[in-house]
Structure 1
């Protein structure tokens, strides 16, 4: 038997390398595709279910309050903007109320995350559950306060440029006078496991046929009219940029998003991992804060 010549061995080696390269390329493409699909599924599942849960709770805002005209001065108003909203005796720090914080954690350049604090009372014939899973019994007299905010994930480092953040909610109670009977200032339960930004806008009835959306800070700066009250808050817009938990096998990922009509750009960080990201928005009508405007007309027909 003659065996193989050197040329034949070299040809076989080259052909083998070509076949191996083709197989590896197919494997990498399939792996990249599967990773993208898995990441997109994670974001979609997290966002859809989380958004639905948040919407259900925000719709409860102002439940149990006989006053449907919500402002920053409404006693036990559904959107908690001031201590007055929580009751006459309340002394809760402003940083735990609805606000556009200058220090709110986010991974967006020059745009800190917001915070939403709502309030309601269970006047239904059924037991309810707050955002932390706490039972709200029928005819419970205390007001439920829920605070939605962005914080570091458990065990995450605060020194990194792009941080590992979560959207959390903590629930507490205040009595009729505003005394805190259960604190709502803790770390709370995770609602969205991976998030880069959380923003809110308040829907304000500026006129009978006009609804405008304002950041909480802008609404608080509105001067109260000489006669009457500030325009009422009737809805809330929520916006969030959610990311996957599984990193992408790619050199680039999206770093610019449009959220609530504003451009949002990720912080510059060459060392950050690449993730699938997507922005989500939702407009929530406050069922217990509907304003009815009646315009009277005179019939001059004889």
Structure 2
């Protein structure tokens, strides 16, 4: 038997060979680099989209919150007006304080207006009490036609008229809106909340109105002397804002003697209210940067939030138009 011999010169046989270990490792590293770059682009794009959606929601919430508090402050001090024979502008019913505030919240927001006192520290920023004559036109009335407070409960007309001198015929009882606005936090969910008096002297429970309001800071534009709605002519000392003060500074003002009641004398100088709201996103941002998110606080200073939530501040200044003389 003859043995077959294969000549390498005439008929070469090409054998397939695989990657070496080094080539395989290089390919694997390159694949991981490309995958990591793709993931980084995806995460960045996803985060940007989420942040954009949250910023839009923050703007909507902030505008709604400002509109609500603006609407209430504009009504502060409102009263039906009559012009008696002596020519003076007289508040036909309510002639008391329009607003009263605290920098660190009320010690007990359920107390009567004249018994309200302030916390010395803590709280979630400022709180403000707003009073005005409530009617079916400046509130959302109940099904029976009663004017309502900030949480929608009816207010009975049990408050006696404060008009002096009393017009003829003298007005009867009226409904007095007495609403207290503050920020409350429950289960890590902040909200602008309110307690409203119901006309019988009782103050209702605290009810959230708008979510994601984390803090409220209020300054008050004050005149040199208290406003006098009973004055017959304009007085620059009573109707020109000379400074913006916080509630603590107003409580420390020297009295002028215009009103015997010191609280009325001091808070009767308030002609405008500047409100700053710190809004917080409803949920934290996924994969938030380690350095957190920077925003401007109510003092226009840079602040950094490291808990993953977005924050923005929204500010408005509202004139107390019912504290001005009607010519």
Same fold (TM over 0.5): yes
In the alignment, does 2:237 pair up with 1:219? no
Q: Which residue of 2 aligns with 1:35?
A: 50
The 5 Å alignment of 1:99-178 reads 99=118, 101-106=119-124, 113-123=125-135, 125=137, 128=140, 129-134=148-153, 141-153=174-186, 155-156=187-188, 164-174=189-199
Distance 1:38 1:233 in 2: 39
Aligned length: 254
In the TM superposition, residue 241 of structure 1 has moved relative to its aligned partner by 1.6
Q: Which residue of 1 aligns with 2:309?
A: 275
In the alignment, does 2:235 pair up with 1:201? no
* Distance change in 2, residues 1:130/1:257 (3 Å): same
Q: TM-score by structure 2 length? A: 0.65
State the superposition RMSD in angstroms: 3.6
Higher Rg: 2
- Contact kept? 1:104, 1:150, Cα under 8 Å: no
The 5 Å alignment of 1:4-23 reads 4-6=18-20, 7-23=22-38
In the TM superposition, residue 15 of structure 1 has moved relative to its aligned partner by 2.7
Q: Which residue of 2 aligns with 1:253?
A: 292
In the TM superposition, residue 48 of structure 1 has moved relative to its aligned partner by 0.8
- Contact kept? 1:69, 1:290, Cα under 8 Å: no
Q: TM-score by structure 1 length? A: 0.70
- Give unpaired runs (5+ residues) of structure 2: 1-14, 83-88, 103-110, 141-147, 158-171, 225-236, 260-264
Between 201-210 and 44-53, the greater mean CA deviation after superposition: 201-210
- Contact kept? 1:62, 1:76, Cα under 8 Å: yes
In the TM superposition, residue 147 of structure 1 has moved relative to its aligned partner by 0.9
Distance 1:119 1:281 in 2: 22
* Distance change in 2, residues 1:183/1:284 (3 Å): same
The 5 Å alignment of 1:88-103 reads 90=112, 93-95=115-117, 99=118, 101-103=119-121
* Distance change in 2, residues 1:145/1:278 (3 Å): same
1:79 to 96, 99, 107: 99
